[in-house]
Amino acid sequence: MAKEKKVEAITDMEVDFGQWFTDVVTKAELIDYSGVKGMYILRPYGYAIWENIQAVLDKRFKELGHENVSMPMLIPESLLQKEKDHVEGFAPECAWVTMGGSEELTERLCVRPTSETLFCDHWSHVVHSWRDLPMKYNQWCSVMRWEKTTRPFLRGREFLWQEGHTLHATAEEAVAETKQMLEVYAECCENWLAMPVIRGRKTEKEKFAGAEDTYTVECMMHDRKALQSGTSHYFGDGFAKAYGIAFSDKENKLQTPHETSWGLSTRIIGGIIMTHGDNNGLVLPPRIAPIQVVVVPVAAHKPGVMEKANEVYELLKKAGVRVKLDDSDNSLGWKCAQWEMKGVPLRLELGPRDIENGQCVCVRRDNFEKVPTALKELETAVPALLDAVQQGLFDKAKKNMDENTHVAQTLEEAKAIQEEKGGFIKTMWCGSLECEQRMKDEAGMSSRCRPYRQEHLSDRCAVCGGEAKEMVIWGVAY
Amino acid sequence: MAKEKKVEAITDMEVDFGQWFTDVVTKAELIDYSGVKGMYILRPYGYAIWENIQAVLDKRFKELGHENVSMPMLIPESLLQKEKDHVEGFAPECAWVTMGGSEELTERLCVRPTSETLFCDHWSHVVHSWRDLPMKYNQWCSVMRWEKTTRPFLRGREFLWQEGHTLHATAEEAVAETKQMLEVYAECCENWLAMPVIRGRKTEKEKFAGAEDTYTVECMMHDRKALQSGTSHYFGDGFAKAYGIAFSDKENKLQTPHETSWGLSTRIIGGIIMTHGDNNGLVLPPRIAPIQVVVVPVAAHKPGVMEKANEVYELLKKAGVRVKLDDSDNSLGWKCAQWEMKGVPLRLELGPRDIENGQCVCVRRDNFEKVPTALKELETAVPALLDAVQQGLFDKAKKNMDENTHVAQTLEEAKAIQEEKGGFIKTMWCGSLECEQRMKDEAGMSSRCRPYRQEHLSDRCAVCGGEAKEMVIWGVAY
């Protein structure tokens, strides 16, 4: 007989958070490394998480009137260069195709780092009249950014994402779209991924290359660092002008339309891991878990056990639960450790004595609570337990964020808190790039956002003491 | 008021089939051209067709135990080169990334033309024991092949597809998988796309680079040319050996696994167009049409018409029909022409007199038959009509294929039939590459396949007169 597999232990997150993360993504079989640095293989279990997130977002995008399209993956250099700020932001990290077959290309083509330029070029062909607006498009694809330091999910040279691109007759409509799509991301994070977010706007320094305004949802990880989890950009008419998009309005006057784009990537899976995971591995929110419940028979060789386990499996499947029956010949200990590593929200253990008592034991992945459950109530009890795990994960993450968000009145105070405790630090800010840069240089924090929910902490900028314009949240970010 | 749009006429297919095709793909708003030759923009209507095909196949793949994954889009040159036949087949049409940011890469990377090499490399990391098999993976992505002549859908430098890759303990299992997946494609074509197929195996000359055996489904277009619509490959253990994949069997002996791959691309949309389209534009099979029914109000300004049209729209939507209400201010004539161009299977016209009579008129896109239908029977009548259109399209395509499939006993006869009538030509064949090459050189036809359904036409090869081994179907192919 072949040797039994063992689940190898992972590094404790308190010992080395980076190594813990790497251990989880590989041991939970989310990722494999490819032969190219920074390009990762999304294995079936990792991809299934992405498919579940896709399903949530795609449905919502369509409900809001967006249509999916497919753009080419290559952008001619001359097309990329039409919008000055945009090309400055992206050209340094483009990968370039210079050969087709055995021939050198006359113009090099970049593998899309993002597709604003392609959408604009297309719209310049097809948009003529106010009747053609709005254009509300989305694309599911991968993009490429030639990063120097790379990490699975968090910073890849290639990553999967969706990029929405819309074009509107008026600035008001485009701004409303930008905000609406940020809200879609916020709801996806909070309601599906159990990740509480802070909604806000980026500063001038931190906004997307070429945007007038960038809106963001920021999450806090276990190590108290920030993860930018979804962004939505308002471009004004800058791109439209650069790419020659114009439309005749109802009075037959030529007008320039206003544009938005918004994106969420597989980076969010890194966020799920670092928000919910623990020293036993991955912990997945039930609503997007590929497997919500694993049925583990105890003493499976005893008469009646496998039959009952199968019955429970079929029952839950019919009730719409994503369930798996572990009928492998691995030991009970190995099975438990494996499904914990993979973050399955609920483990349902079922042995001869349980069956006698007409019950099973449901073990919650979020807090290891063992819940004896009557077999005849499974159809309602399991969905309720899944909801409880979902809520439990959200509450725990919210507590982490709340407890690790601090107020500082001066740069020195902000620096001291960051060094001692980490987390998000709220201060007032005068709005100057200079003060923002000082916070970066002296306290090591970037501005995460100017949150929607403003608080009046004082009248003075924490950095320069000048008149405060608004509150900013600072943090160390991934 | 802005000028009313006109649907421009398209070239008749009898006048110029190629131009007709190009007119349909652009006027039906399936495609726009990008700035890179051979790379096309799939517009919302074109992409929605692909999404519907994806849904059919993805469901079926998963039912059969396949899992989706995501592989990198770039392949290091050294990795591509490990399987000799494979690299010979694909290297001449690879696009190469040679620069990352401002730096020249030490090894150039090809944009995947297909991903066998990546799957093999991954499997060499993760496959160890018989317990790890079979591996049944699929990927939805785009691939790149630097073609010289390009056409929308039919031959692009980039195209969307799915590529299935599986790894099995035994040759028998791998061959069974190869055949099973061909059957999935055949059923998708026949039952969903209304495209009758010929199932068969490719000759040595026509098989996939690196494969031991290639299975194919071949369809006939309106112009009697063949379109290879889906292929499934058996690789034996050649790739596994080249990439160092091995597993311990139950007796703990090291074995080499056997591999398959299979793919279907957006090329099939070109096939749908050329199988069902007519001189009024696109004709879509109801089962994959993004819009199955368009409700067109007649004299929409008359009291009660729009209300009733809306009611019908809501009723059909609730019944699960993909329905659109055309409430634009375009003229009736323009609306009809537009929805015919877009190939919507059923147009439901509804005017004041219809409403008085408690009916509407359903116009079938496949044969323009006008079917008066009682409003109170719509919920059952419309799905039945859609089924009738689906069947009607299949029958018409089947008739075209049957009537244009001929038998020839000699090369001269085959050549004469091809020149005079076109279509598929069945002959006996000795199995030699030489005779196959002569058929290509002298009659301009490639072997489409050695069909599953063999017929005994004679004892002699039609080309050399030698002993016949099997029947081959020849044709001019896209």
At B198-225, the pLDDT tens digits run 999 999 999 998 899 999 999 999 999 9
For B27, name the nearest residue in chain A, comparing CA atoms only: A126
Cβ-based neighbours of A187, under 8 Å, separated by 6 or more: A60
Candidates A69, A110, A139, A265, partner chain B, best to mutate (most B CBs within 10 A): A69
Task: Give residues 218 to 257 of A whose Cβ lies within 8 Å of B.
Answer: 248, 250, 252
SS3 A210: coil
At B293-321, the pLDDT tens digits run 999 999 999 999 999 999 999 999 999 99
Chain-centroid distance, C-alpha A234: 20
User: In Å, how far is B249's CA from the nearest CA of chain A?
Assistant: 8
Can you give the pLDDT at residue A8? 66
Q: What percent of chain B has pLDDT over 90?
A: 95
HSE-CB for A191 with a 13 A CA cutoff = 9
For B113, name the nearest residue in chain A, comparing CA atoms only: A101
How, if at all, do strands A254-255 and A247-248 pair?
antiparallel
Chain A hits for B157, Cβ within 8 Å = 100
Q: Is the pLDDT of residue B86 over 90?
A: no
Whole-angstrom CA distances from A241 to A236, A303, B403 are: 10, 75, 56
Distance in Å from the first CA to the final CA of chain A: 46
User: In Å, how far is B39's CA from the nearest CA of chain A?
Assistant: 6
Chain A hits for B92, Cβ within 8 Å = 101-102
* Amino acid code (one letter) for B116: E
Chain B hits for A146, Cβ within 8 Å = 100-101
User: In Å, how far is B326's CA from the nearest CA of chain A?
Assistant: 14
**Cα–Cα distance for residue pair B96/A376, rounded to 1 Å:** 61
The CB density around residue B135, as the number of other CB atoms within 10 Å, is 21
Band of the pLDDT at B9, cuts 50, 70, 90? confident
**Cα–Cα distance for residue pair B146/B90, rounded to 1 Å:** 10
Sheet strand arrangement including B293-297? B323-325, B293-297, B346-350, B359-364, B370-374
- Average pLDDT in the B126-137 region? 97
- Average pLDDT in the A67-77 region? 97
CATH topology assigned to domain A17-276: BirA Bifunctional Protein; domain 2 (3.30.930)
Residue A124: which H helix or E strand, with range? Answer: helix A116-126
Tell me the two tokens of residue B370: 């006008």
Q: What is the CATH number of domain B405-475?
A: 3.30.110.30
**Cα–Cα distance for residue pair B342/B277, rounded to 1 Å:** 10
The answer to whether B17-276 and B286-388 have equal CATH topology is no
Which residue would you say has higher pLDDT here, A6 or B265?
Answer: B265
A68 touches chain B (CB under 8 A): yes
Name the DSSP letter for residue A166. Answer: E
Chain A hits for B2, Cβ within 8 Å = 129-131, 248, 250, 252
Can you give the pLDDT at residue A243? 96
Q: Is the pLDDT of residue A201 over 80?
A: yes
DSSP characters for A240-277?
A: HHHTT--EE-TTS-EE--EEEEEEEETHHHHHHHHHH-
For B102, name the nearest residue in chain A, comparing CA atoms only: A92
Band of the pLDDT at A1, cuts 50, 70, 90? very low
Q: Write the residue in A51, A71, A101 that is nearest to B68 by C-beta.
A: A51
Task: Tell me the angle at which helices A267-276 and A378-403 cross, rounded to the nearest 10 degrees.
Answer: 90
User: In Å, how far is A317's CA from the nearest CA of chain B?
Assistant: 14
Candidates B81, B90, B99, partner chain A, best to mutate (most A CBs within 10 A): B99
Chain B hits for A102, Cβ within 8 Å = 92
For B143, name the nearest residue in chain A, comparing CA atoms only: A73
SS3 B161: strand
Contact A72 B39 (CB under 8 A): yes
At A400-423, the pLDDT tens digits run 999 999 999 999 999 999 999 999
Name the DSSP letter for residue A112. Answer: P
Name the DSSP letter for residue B456. Answer: -
Name the DSSP letter for residue A467. Answer: B
**Cα–Cα distance for residue pair A335/A241, rounded to 1 Å:** 60
Question: What mean pLDDT is reported for chain A?
Answer: 96
- Average pLDDT in the A421-426 region? 97
Q: Write the residue in B51, B101, B252 that is nearest to A68 by C-beta.
A: B51
User: In Å, how far is B279's CA from the nearest CA of chain A?
Assistant: 24
Can you give the pLDDT at residue B91? 86
Contact A74 B36 (CB under 8 A): yes
Can you give the pLDDT at residue A37? 94
**What b/e readout covers B188-206, taking b as 16+ CB neighbours within 10 angstroms?**
bbbebbbbbbbbbbbbeeb
At A135-183, the pLDDT tens digits run 999 999 999 999 999 999 999 999 999 999 999 999 999 999 999 999 9
Tell me the two tokens of residue A130: 């106010």
Contact A34 B118 (CB under 8 A): yes
Domain ranges of chain A: 17-276, 291-388, 405-475
Chain B hits for A95, Cβ within 8 Å = 74, 97, 99-101
Contact B34 A146 (CB under 8 A): no
Report which of B218, B225, B155 is spatially closest to residue B476, judged by C-alpha positions.
B225
Cβ-based neighbours of B352, under 8 Å, separated by 6 or more: B298, B299, B302, B304, B305
Q: Is the pLDDT of residue B8 over 70?
A: no
- Average pLDDT in the B461-472 region? 98
At A343-389, the pLDDT tens digits run 999 999 999 999 999 999 999 999 999 999 999 999 999 999 999 99
Residue B30 backbone dihedrals phi, psi, to 5 degrees:
-85, -35
Can you give the pLDDT at residue B368? 96
Q: Write the residue in B50, B71, B97 that is nearest to A95 by C-beta.
A: B97
DSSP characters for B2-53?
A: PPPP-PPP---TTT-HHHHHHHHHHHTTSEEE-SSTT-EEE-HHHHHHHHHH
Chain B hits for A158, Cβ within 8 Å = 72-74
A87 touches chain B (CB under 8 A): no
Can you give the pLDDT at residue A5? 43
ipTM of the complex: 0.95
Candidates B73, B145, B243, B249, partner chain A, best to mutate (most A CBs within 10 A): B73
- Cβ–Cβ under 8 Å, residues A76 and A96: no
User: In Å, how far is B436's CA from the nearest CA of chain A?
Assistant: 28
Contact A70 B50 (CB under 8 A): yes
User: In Å, how far is A359's CA from the nearest CA of chain B?
Assistant: 31
At B367-402, the pLDDT tens digits run 999 999 999 999 999 999 999 999 999 999 999 999
Tell me the two tokens of residue B377: 């029977």
Q: Write the residue in A47, A48, A100 that is nearest to B95 by C-beta.
A: A100
- Bond from prior residue into A134 cis (ω within 30 degrees of 0): yes
Chain A hits for B79, Cβ within 8 Å = 35
Q: Write the residue in A36, A75, A96 that is nearest to B98 by C-beta.
A: A96
Chain A hits for B47, Cβ within 8 Å = 67-70
**Cα–Cα distance for residue pair B475/B454, rounded to 1 Å:** 17
User: In Å, how far is B259's CA from the nearest CA of chain A?
Assistant: 18
CATH topology assigned to domain A291-388: Rossmann fold (3.40.50)
**Cα–Cα distance for residue pair A136/A331, rounded to 1 Å:** 53
Q: Is the pLDDT of residue B3 over 80?
A: no
B130 touches chain A (CB under 8 A): yes
How, if at all, do strands A67-68 and A135-144 pair?
parallel
For A65, name the nearest residue in chain B, comparing CA atoms only: B44
CB pairs A-B closer than 8 Å? 162
Q: Write the residue in B92, B129, B160 that is nearest to A2 by C-beta.
A: B129
Candidates A50, A70, A148, partner chain B, best to mutate (most B CBs within 10 A): A70
Contact A67 B79 (CB under 8 A): no
Band of the pLDDT at A446, cuts 50, 70, 90? very high
Domain B286-388 sits in CATH 1.10.760.10: no
Q: Is the pLDDT of residue A443 over 70?
A: yes
Can you give the pLDDT at residue B6? 47
Can you give the pLDDT at residue A7? 56
- Cβ–Cβ under 8 Å, residues B415 and B443: yes
Chain A hits for B101, Cβ within 8 Å = 92-95, 146
Q: What percent of chain B has pLDDT over 70?
A: 98
Contact B73 A144 (CB under 8 A): yes
Residue A325: which H helix or E strand, with range? Answer: strand A323-325
Q: Is the pLDDT of residue A55 over 70?
A: yes
Chain A hits for B252, Cβ within 8 Å = 2
Contact B142 A32 (CB under 8 A): no
Report which of A157, A206, A179, A162 is spatially closest to residue A477, judged by C-alpha positions.
A206
pTM above 0.80, yes or no: yes
Can you give the pLDDT at residue A239? 95
Which ranges of A346-459 does DSSP label H, i.e. alpha helix?
A: 352-356, 378-403, 411-420, 433-443
Task: Tell me the angle at which helices B267-276 and B378-403 cross, rounded to the nearest 10 degrees.
Answer: 90
Band of the pLDDT at A304, cuts 50, 70, 90? very high
Question: What mean pLDDT is reported for chain B?
Answer: 96
Contact A98 B102 (CB under 8 A): no
